[in-house]
Structure 1
Amino acid sequence: MSMSARLPLSSLILVTALAGCATPQNQNDPLEGINRPIYRFNTAVDQALLRPLSQAYTAVVPAPARHGVHNFFGNLNDIWIGINNLLQGKPKAAVSDWGRVLINSTVGVAGLVDVASKMDLEKHDEDLGQTLAVWGVGNGPYLVLPFLGSTTLRDSTDLIAEHALHQDMIPDHSTRDGVTALRILDVRAQLLGVDHVISEAGGLDEYAFIRDAYLQRRASLAADGATPATADEDDPGPTPEPATTTPATP
Structure 2
Amino acid sequence: MEKPPVRGPLCTRATLAAELRALGVRPGETLLVHSSLSALGWVAGGAVDVVHALLDVLGEDGTLVVPTHSGDNSDPAHWSSPAVPEEWWPELRASMPGYDPHTTRSFGVGTVPEVVRTWPGALRSGHPQTSFAALGPLAGRITSGHRPECRLGEHSPLARLEEAGARILLLGAGFDSCTAFHLAEYRVPGAEDRVEVGFAALTAGGGRAWVTVLDSPISSDDFELLGADYERDRPVPRGPVGAATCRLFPLTEAVAYAGRWLPVHRPPA
User: Do they fold alike, i.e. is TM over 0.5?
Assistant: no
Report which structure shows greater RCO (CA 8 Å, sep ≥6).
Answer: 1
> TM-score when scaled to structure 1?
0.24
Q: Give 1 or 2: higher strand fraction.
A: 2
> TM-score when scaled to structure 2?
0.23
